[in-house]
Structure 1
Amino acid sequence: MTDKTKITLIYVGIAVFAAFIVTMFIIIGNGVDRTLEEDNRIATDVGREQAQEMLRLENDLVATNQAGDEVRLSELKDKVWIMAQFFAACPNCAARNGDHLVKLYQEYKDNPDFHVVCVTVDPETDDPARLQEYAETLGADISDWWFLTGDHETLHHYMEEEMKFLAVRERVKQEDIDREGRYAHDMGVAVFGKGLVMKEKKDLLFARQQGPELYEHFEGLLTKAIEEALAQ
């Protein structure tokens, strides 16, 4: 083997080794990034001493409850209440409302300062009679759990602009409608304290899909926000 060949092989070996080292750094770096991202997602708000003010409702909403009565959100200004979007035919809402919301309702309904509000994103279909039937299936008492309907544009505008819920999107593919329902909407549960101040908002359905650790973390944050607000 000539000296020139030996030198060439040495350089090739060095290049291959360098490429290997770079590749390993990239792989390890990506793994660290994913771990940090996961840790940050799980650890969101950990160690926070008290729920912070996310927003304050400056304008009122007039809507119709399941009994056909006109109500205003301002009636809840001295209460602690949780808020969620829904529509009666939504399979995801059925899972969330029948599990997560009912659980919170059962835990706090004996407190006269606690209330639950669900606002439909499909008011053309969800009239008071339909809402009353829906409420009965969940064991909801109208005195402390409202299911609200009203003008489509008014409801959507208020939830998106005033409450900062994600915009509602109407699905077009029939297979998606059959599986998920007509509307894609924000599945978050918001906690409002006295003074119509939003203290917390978390998507428990999403959290449960990700695993028990995130679900328990989010559930704990909502519960903590409710208890702190009730104590004020």
Structure 2
Amino acid sequence: MNPTVLEPAERDPKAIRRTVIVLFLLMLVGGAVIWWKYTQQQAKDKQEEIAGRSPRISRLTKNFAGVCQDGEFRGLDDLEGKVWVVAPIVPNHPEENKIQLQKMQDLAEHYKERDDFHLVCISVANPHEHGYEELAKIADEVGADMSQWWFMAAEEKSVIGFLKDHLKMAHIKERKGADAEKFGVHDIPAQLRIVDQSRRVRGEFEQFDFDFALARQNEVRERLKTQPTLLDDKQSREGQLLNLYHDMEEIWTKRMYKVIDYTFTETETDQDPNYGSAIVVALTILAFIIIMGIRLRKHRNATTGG
């Protein structure tokens, strides 16, 4: 056996050093490109958010259907291509509906000239006890135009499932005992959800719950009666929250209209994150490693005579 075959291949320190330097530079440049693209996207998202673009909470992939106030059966799939706002109501406990119905009336008036805008109120009640006839009375009381505003009744279980799982109104709670008798079995939020033309639910999870907004607002204003200087501190976290809560109903109302207005003009659909730059950089580095590996192998073979 030729002993030279077993000898380790002669290493070229210059080639190894050159490889390491080039690899390091590739990673540095690649990282810089990815970071630049990321900061650009962040700046763009921030500008769009200021303009009214709102995050996507979920996408409605399942149709929800029910009987509307005119006795006709309809599904929310029919609203695709429109911007619509949806809110839960309890037909047999009208005091539970005051806030969201007022907001919906304001929206109906504000966007009455738009054919691509719609409102939906979904009944959270047993439809066999409180059916579309009761919804027709409520619709008449608020002056709802059937072409713009639906009141829908469906099986109670499917309604609650739709509100929780698809519209992400997770804080619907069940009352018991005297509270259930007085206020109804289901404690629903006076929360409005905005759904865009592609059936994407837009906003933040906690946003546009006007029960919450008014409760916090009243709480802060009550505190201010004895501590009027609380709003002066705008630097601390508590001070910022107090300033937010002080006008929360108005702030959320303005934000809601801004999101709706932006959604009407939005032409760019939600896309998965752009991984193109990262993939190109990763493939470039991988290709370089493979090429250098092949070159080193050839160099070793030439050195050993293999």
Bin of the TM-score, shorter chain as denominator length: 0.7 to 0.9
Aligned-residue offset at 1:48: 6.9
Find the counterpart in structure 2 of residue 5 from structure 1: none
Name which of 210, 217, 222 aligns with 2:256.
Answer: 222
Q: For the residues of structure 2 that align with 1:165 and 1:105, how far apart are their CA atoms? A: 22
Deviations 1:84-107 (A, max 9, x none): 111112344332134222111111
TM-score norm. by structure 1 comes to 0.73
Name which of 175, 185, 200 aligns with 1:197.
Answer: 200
Is the counterpart of residue 103 in structure 1 residue 106 in structure 2?
A: yes
Is the counterpart of residue 209 in structure 1 residue 215 in structure 2?
A: yes
Higher strand share: 1
Question: Which residues of 2 match residues 24-173 of structure 1 at below 5 A?
Answer: 47=50, 50-122=53-125, 123-166=127-170, 168-173=172-177
Aligned-residue offset at 1:110: 1.7
Residues 64 and 173 of structure 1: is their aligned pair in 2 closer, same or farther, counting only changes over 3 Å?
same
CA-based RMSD of the aligned residues comes to 2.2
Please, which runs of 5 or more residues in structure 1 have no aligned partner? 1-45
Question: Which residues of 2 match residues 174-185 of structure 1 at below 5 A?
Answer: 174=178, 176-177=179-180, 179-185=182-188
Q: For the residues of structure 2 that align with 1:111 and 1:48, how far apart are their CA atoms? A: 20
Q: For the residues of structure 2 that align with 1:167 and 1:148, how far apart are their CA atoms? A: 21
Q: For the residues of structure 1 that align with 2:155 and 2:91, how far apart are their CA atoms? A: 16
Tell me which amino acid in the other structure corresponds to 1:56: R
Residues 199 and 120 of structure 1: is their aligned pair in 2 closer, same or farther, counting only changes over 3 Å?
same
The secondary structure found in structure 1 opposite 2:254 is helix
Q: For the residues of structure 1 that align with 2:52 and 2:87, how far apart are their CA atoms? A: 25
Q: For the residues of structure 2 that align with 1:111 and 1:188, how far apart are their CA atoms? A: 23
Question: How many residues matched?
Answer: 187
Aligned-residue offset at 1:207: 1.1
Residues 93 and 145 of structure 1: is their aligned pair in 2 closer, same or farther, counting only changes over 3 Å?
farther
Q: For the residues of structure 2 that align with 1:95 and 1:89, how far apart are their CA atoms? A: 12
Q: Does the CA-based 8 Å contact 2:167-2:193 persist in structure 1? A: no
Tell me which amino acid in the other structure corresponds to 1:67: D
The secondary structure found in structure 2 opposite 1:147 is strand
Tell me which amino acid in the other structure corresponds to 1:206: F
Q: Does the CA-based 8 Å contact 1:109-1:115 persist in structure 2? A: no
Deviations 1:137-168 (A, max 9, x none): 00001111011011222222222222222254
TM-score norm. by structure 2 comes to 0.56
Q: Does the CA-based 8 Å contact 2:52-2:261 persist in structure 1? A: no
Deviations 1:37-65 (A, max 9, x none): xxxxxxxxx84752122211011112111
